[in-house]
Amino acid sequence: MPPRPAFLRYTFKKTNPKPAGSISRALMLNPGTTMNSTVLPPGTYWGQYQDITKSNTHLSVAERLWVAWYAWVQNDVLATGIMSFVIHELFYFGRSLPWIFIDSLGSFNRYKIQSSKVPSLREQWDCAKFVLLSHFTVELPQIWLFHPMAQFFGLSTSIPFPSPWTMTYQIAIFFVMEDTWHYFCHRALHWGPLYKAIHKVHHQYSAPFGLAAEYASPIEVMILGFGTVSSPILWCAFTGNLHILTMYIWIVLRLFQAVDAHSGYEFPWSLHHFLPFWAGADHHDLHHEKFIGNYSSSFRWWDYLLDTDYTPDALKRRREKKVKAKKTQ
Ligand SMILES: [Zn+2]
Ligand SMILES: [Zn+2]
């Protein structure tokens, strides 16, 4: 494991003694710093933030907020667990909200892929309750396990943050890794017995909507969620180069991808028009409607390479192939 800068080494203490008196841990980090009067007590999060700001003016606001969070919680596993779970809930439901509005307003109906099947608010509410239950019972333990596992392989929570380029290429790799895992597991889940026992739940909605992205059996959530969590862990195991901020951004982008793919809307400005290998709602909606093909999550290449894509072009290609085969017989 790479050596952790002294600045943050304190956050990995096993015990969590609250600092005696009013001296915050942040100030304890910087021995040269003297304690001045603070507006907020150092025991609070904002107290920590103020102390860190005073003694570490070279840090960016984001880095100060970050250090204050880990310093305030005093337990890395807990700090990462809470942060990951809150980010997950905020961005999953936050990203679903615009789709709920769009569905209820009906003004974008011309862009709805299955325009006759607009979900009712009641349907969406029932779905939200189910998903929330799954988040607390299945995803929470998985999220909690992430930090100790990744830390074992050299996960960094220190500052400064990695460069935008480092985060970008790592997240791109996670997308490719997760998509591969998703393709093969999802395809396997469509095998008769597994479909009946596990995946049928997710296919309850033949015309999906944003909130339905994580409407699935707990076993499926574990299997497919493993791809999201283990991709960065595997990366970290091989390279020893992963910052947990990259992991947070990865979670957010993966959530956006999943919610949007289930939105049921295809716009002229949808991403796949600019990135032809991007899957999006255009790709996944057909999977829900036809129950076959289009198994990957983010990209189209696995479906194309293994001839499981379900698009008008693919159907035409297969028809032509059959005709050709018949002619040569
Ligand atoms: Zn499926
Ligand atoms: Zn789906």
Q: What is the pLDDT of residues 168-201, one digit of tens each?
A: 999 999 999 999 999 999 999 999 999 999 999 9
Contact between 210 and 255 (Cβ < 8 Å): no
Nearest Cα neighbor of 25 from 46, 42, 4 is 42
The confidence band for 32, taking pLDDT boundaries of 50, 70 and 90, is very low
Give me the percent of the chain exceeding a pLDDT of 70: 87
How much distance in Å is there from the Cα of 188 to the middle of ligand 2?
Answer: 14
How much distance in Å is there from the Cα of 228 to the middle of ligand 1?
Answer: 17
Q: What average pLDDT does the structure give for the chain? A: 83
pLDDT at 1 exceeding the cut of 80? no
Nearest ligand, CA 216: 2
Contact between 310 and 202 (Cβ < 8 Å): no
Range name among 141-150, 156-165, 192-201 with the lowest pLDDT average: 141-150
The residue ranking higher by pLDDT, 25 or 68, is 68
Q: What is the pLDDT of residue 214?
A: 93
Q: What is the pLDDT of residue 42?
A: 57
Please state the pTM of the whole predicted model.
0.82
Nearest Cα neighbor of 69 from 165, 134, 157 is 157
Q: What is the pLDDT of residue 274?
A: 94
Nearest Cα neighbor of 76 from 142, 28, 10 is 10
Contact between 171 and 251 (Cβ < 8 Å): no
The residue ranking higher by pLDDT, 73 or 18, is 73
pLDDT at 295 exceeding the cut of 70? yes
What one-letter code names the amino acid at 36? N
Q: What is the pLDDT of residue 24?
A: 33
Model pLDDT for residues 213-265, shown as the tens digit of each residue: 999 999 999 899 889 988 998 999 999 899 989 989 999 999 999 999 999 99
The residue ranking higher by pLDDT, 76 or 295, is 295
The residue ranking higher by pLDDT, 15 or 146, is 146
State the average pLDDT over residues 94-108: 90
How much distance in Å is there from the Cα of 268 to the middle of ligand 1?
Answer: 25
Range name among 13-17, 44-48, 225-229 with the lowest pLDDT average: 13-17
Nearest Cα neighbor of 206 from 262, 124, 279 is 262
Q: What is the pLDDT of residue 76?
A: 83
How much distance in Å is there from the Cα of 291 to the middle of ligand 1?
Answer: 6
How much distance in Å is there from the Cα of 30 to the middle of ligand 2?
Answer: 50
Contact between 244 and 155 (Cβ < 8 Å): yes
